[in-house]
Amino acid sequence: MPMRRASTVLILAVVYIDMLGIGLAFPILPRLIQHFVGGDFARASWIFGLISSAYALTQFFFAPILGGISDRYGRRPVILLALLGMGLNYLAMAFAPSLAWLVVGRLIAGGMGATFSTANAYLADITPPEKRAQSFGLIGAAFGFGFITGPALGGYLGDIDIRLPFLFAAGLSFANLIGGYYFLPESLAPEHRKAFRLARANPFGALREIGRFAALPGLLLIFLLATFANRVAETTWVLFTSYRFGWNGKEVGLSLAMVGVMFVVGQGGLVRIIVPALGERRAILLGLAVSVVVVLSYCFATKGWMVYPAMALGVFGWTTAQPAVMSLMSRAVPPNEQGLLQGAVASINSLTTVLAPPFWTSLFAFFVSPLAPMIVPGAAFIGSAAVFTLAFLLAARTPSLKPAAAIA
């Protein structure tokens, strides 16, 4: 038990520091792109969107490969490889002499971005099936802490020098690499490892492989729909709040920090109460139903302060349901398939990152344009509520799962 607890703390530290590094670079990257295009804000915004999609698309294809490698050679070497790749990415951005170098750095980051998914597989290895939802919630909380602290620190360092946050993030990644090398033990026992096959180590082959487990297709579809719907806020929040409430940058930043706090409270605390009390299946149904209410509350808010109670309610939404879905999926596959599963999940997550931004922002833009039959700034949130409702109906038809050993 003490060894398992120490390993959990170590892997959470790896995720937090890695997310802190990502958060450090996040607010500065658009400014650096603008520097390379001669200060053209519109062009820089367009390029930033393309680079973000390229990052997600690269991760979509590489995550199952790294997941398959982790099933064959263990989680530890993949995590260390990912940390090395992130460090090289930040160095490339810190010293990039041109936009092309910057793009190469982001592609490296996308290809090596396996820390989060492999950390999930690591926790699945060392956690009993009935406690995995709580463990996945802790991963989400570490992610949320990095999201809260990283952008604030990155903005401060970026005011000193635009490239300083990238150097700081590189230092964190390499320190993380050294700490992981010396203190992070391997979690996947040799007898649980599985031969690497390229046919299953791609996003389509990975989905086909895990389709062998009868419970997974429905759960993966729920995860896909809910993640796609949940991305409405991150892609349209600045546009919506600026248009609807006239918020400035400070007000938007405060609201985003509050989102991070609610994320930490939900996945770091409430998951440990709600899931054991209700069970995974009921927790998922509750989370999806609450998510419908939350996004509709954003849509129909007439004053800026009204979004904050909705944020507080959101801790019972997808924030809580997501770890429960992850727990059910991890219990549906044997130990030597956890990397494959988490790679497939990471690919689905990346795919929503590619597809959701243009979809939700286009919906917002149309319904505030002269072409719209009526002006509805919250139209994207109505669309999100419809997708969450579809995910809820699907979840309501998903039966409780048997233990992983029985399914395997």
Cα–Cα distance list, 297 to 306, 321, 330, 365 (Å): 8, 19, 33, 20
Among 183-197, 198-212, 324-338, the least confident range: 198-212
Q: Is the pLDDT of residue 137 over 70?
A: yes
User: Tell me, what's the pLDDT at 310?
Assistant: 95
Q: Is the dihedral of CA 74, 62, 236, 26 positive or negative?
A: positive
pLDDT in tens, 41-75: 556 656 766 777 777 788 777 877 887 788 888 88
Residues 172 and 221 in one domain: no
pLDDT tens per residue, range 74-127: 889 988 988 888 888 888 888 888 888 888 888 887 777 666 778 878 888 888
Contact status, residue 206 vs residue 70, Cβ threshold 8 Å: no
Q: Is residue 240 part of a domain?
A: yes
291 and 227 together in one domain: yes
Higher model confidence: residue 225 or residue 344? Answer: 225
Task: Give yes or no: residues 155 and 232 share one domain.
Answer: no
The whole-number pLDDT of residue 200 equals 63
Structure tokens at 266: 């939900």
User: What is the C-alpha to C-alpha distance for residues 312 and 140, in angstroms, rounded to an integer?
Assistant: 17
Same-domain pairing of 271 and 172: no
Evaluate whether 149 touches 49 at the Cβ level (below 8 Å).
no
Quick one: 136 and 253 in the same domain?
A: no
pLDDT at 292 (0 to 100): 98
- 9 and 154 fall within a common domain: yes
Task: Kindly state whether residues 108 and 12 are assigned to the same domain.
Answer: yes
| Residue among 359, 269, 389 nearest 319 (CA) | 269
**Given this model, what pLDDT does residue 8 score?**
80
Q: Tell me the C-alpha distance between 82 and 65, whole Å.
A: 12
36 and 116 together in one domain: yes
pLDDT reported for residue 206: 65
- Report the alpha-carbon distance of residue 273 to residue 225 in Å, rounded: 25
C-beta atoms surrounding 407 within 10 Å: 16
CATH of the domain at 356: 1.20.1250.20
Quick check: 88 and 174 in contact, CB under 8 A? no
Residues 165 and 245 in one domain: no
Residues 215 and 177 in one domain: no
Last residue of a domain, one of 122, 157, 184: 184
Amino acid 365: pLDDT: 82
Which range marks the domain in which residue 371 is found? 202-408
Separation of alpha carbons 210 and 215, rounded Å = 10
- The domain tally of the chain equals 2
Q: What angle, 0 to 180 degrees and rounded to 10, lies between the N-to-C axes of helices 41-73 and 115-126?
A: 30
Last residue of a domain, one of 150, 184, 218: 184
Q: What percent of the chain has pLDDT over 90?
A: 19
**C-alpha to C-alpha distance for 374 and 348, rounded to whole angstroms:** 34
Q: Is 90 exceeded by the pLDDT of residue 173?
A: no
**What pLDDT, in 10s, does the model give residues 250-287?**
677 678 778 878 887 887 778 889 988 998 889 999 99
Residue 190 lies in a domain: no
Residue 303 has a pLDDT of 93
